[in-house]
Amino acid sequence: MVSVWDALVGQDSVVATLRAAADAATLVLAPTSLLMDGAAEADVVPDPTGPGPGTGSAAPSPAAGASAGPSRSGMTHSWLFTGPPGVGREQAARAFAASLTCERQPPGCGECVGCHTVLTDTATDLRTVTPEGFSLGVKDIRALVRDAASAPTAGRWRILLLTDADRLTEAAANALLKALEEPAERAVFLLCAPSVEDVLPTIRSRCRTVALRLPAAADVRAMLIREGVDERSADVAARASQGHLDLARRLAGDEAARAHREAVLRIPARLGRVGACLAAAADLVEAANADAEAANSARDEVETEALKTALGVGATAVGGRSRSAKASKAGAKGRTMVVRGAAGALKELERNQKSRGRRTVLDTLDRALVDLAGLYRDVLAEQLGATVESIHPDHAAEAARLAAAATPEQTLRRLEAVLATRTALADNPGLVPLLAVESLTLALRDA
């Protein structure tokens, strides 16, 4: 039987924590009288904040006069899901949200209407906010806070999911903080970020943290095989993805993704003359721009046309006349309507689309740099004779060639140059990607 927890690959401790909290959530809103009546028959729900099974610590006895019923302390109004990119932060938050709206017991069946609507992001009591560009502004957060104050319409909870809480602007973070300090009774905030350090201390101190770890290659491989991928392709994709689940799926099933990875891993062999280094950098950035264009162009066009239609841009005054008005003279031309604020709204949409496109380019380049760093890690392991699994087993011959042509010190400098470029692009969104990658290719040649 499929459940919402099956999407959390290699996260057994996280699943246990969220399961317990979902069980406790069913009791939070239950009348005390019902809990008292069912105390003798109900199973005790573990409190994930306390000692886990097998720790040897006995559960404290209830105070005199207190109910011995199930624990309700595992549920809270604010959660922070952390972990490296691709590890499944949003999937974990969404699985938990589905369990909170599940109509069956135990929560999280994955098959009922409550689970299905949350997993497909169509639930009436779920609001998902994802930044389109580099930041999440106060306008979106204020709308989120207003939603949080509303009572749920279909389920027991009003769930607010922020997929990238690390991109909150200062004003947006302050607006969110007010809602977290005094949450509505039925509101649950689910925040996702790479680490707790990426979120303001005042916000993370009001959240319960759920830390996801990188799944082992064996776990990713098993996931791909369950999804119908052959064993060899699953093994290569699982190792090359380095725990990034979506990338593992793309490498296993998308020829374009595999071709892009191959092109990245051929870069070290192209670094001869200065012109060759610059050409390799240009090819890498051009591929990233092409990916962004393919991912966003159709969406941008649909969004623009939808906004124009909503604003009435392009409509004519003649076409908008009432039936009682006199017919227009023969040959009269309709006057294009000018909607107040239309130009500003279209410019704002264009800015958001450009920001999203640049974000896509930087994400693609970051993935390429991770692949390149993985290759140099394999080279260094070969040089040092380390008995570790390679990240790119299908490029073992290339790793051996590079290992024979350099010293471990050179390889380490190259690896550090790749990681430094990743950091520079992440910390400086205004940095020109081509210049950064050109500098990297020259550094790799001269190391």
pLDDT tens per residue across span 379-434: 999 999 999 999 999 999 999 999 999 999 999 999 999 999 999 998 887 889 99
pTM of the model: 0.73
pLDDT at 144 over 70: yes
339, 313 Cβ separation under 8 angstroms:
yes
**Beta strand pairing call for 187-193 and 158-162:** parallel
Q: Which of 360, 59, 118, 96 is nearest to 212 (CA)?
A: 96
**In the prediction, which pLDDT does 185 show?**
85
**In the prediction, which pLDDT does 29 show?**
66
Mean of per-residue pLDDT scores for the chain: 82
pLDDT tens per residue across span 23-68: 998 877 665 434 444 443 334 333 433 333 333 333 333 333 333 3
| Ranges 168-182, 282-296, 300-314, 412-426, most confident | 412-426
47/74 Cα distance (integer angstroms) = 5
- Tell me the mean pLDDT in the region 134-141: 84
Which residue(s) pair with 316 in the sheet? 336
Mean pLDDT is lowest, of 133-142, 244-253, 319-328, 342-351, for 319-328
More confident residue, 314 or 96: 96
More confident residue, 371 or 345: 371
- Tell me the mean pLDDT in the region 95-115: 93
Instruction: Enter the tokens of residue 170.
Output: 């200062």
Instruction: Enter the tokens of residue 361.
Output: 């380019």
pLDDT interval class at 345 (50, 70, 90):
confident
**In the prediction, which pLDDT does 66 show?**
37
pLDDT tens per residue across span 156-206: 899 999 999 998 988 999 999 988 988 888 899 999 999 999 999 999 999
353, 300 Cβ separation under 8 angstroms:
yes
pLDDT at 329 over 80: no
More confident residue, 439 or 51: 439
- Tell me the mean pLDDT in the region 103-113: 91
More confident residue, 211 or 320: 211
Secondary structure of the chain in the HEC alphabet?
CCCHHHHCCCCHHHHHHHHHHHHHHHHHCCCHHHHHHCCCCCCCCCCCCCCCCCCCCCCCCCCCCCCCCCCCCCCCCEEEEECCCCCCHHHHHHHHHHHHHCCCCCCCCCCCHHHHHHHCCCCCCEEEECCCCCCECHHHHHHHHHHHCCCCCCCCCEEEEECCHHHECHHHHHHHHHHHHCCCCCEEEEEEECCHHHCCHHHHCCCEEEECCCCCHHHHHHHHHHCCCCHHHHHHHHHHHCCCHHHHHHHHHCHHHHHHHHHHHCHHHHCCCHHHHHHHHHHHHHHHHHHHHHHHHHHHHHHHHHHHHHHCCCCECHHHCCCCCCCCCCCCCCCECCCCCHHHHHHHHHHHHHHHHHHHHHHHHHHHHHHHHHHHHHHHHHHHCCCCCCCCHHHHHHHHHHHHCCCHHHHHHHHHHHHHHHHHHHHCCCCCHHHHHHHHHHHHHHC
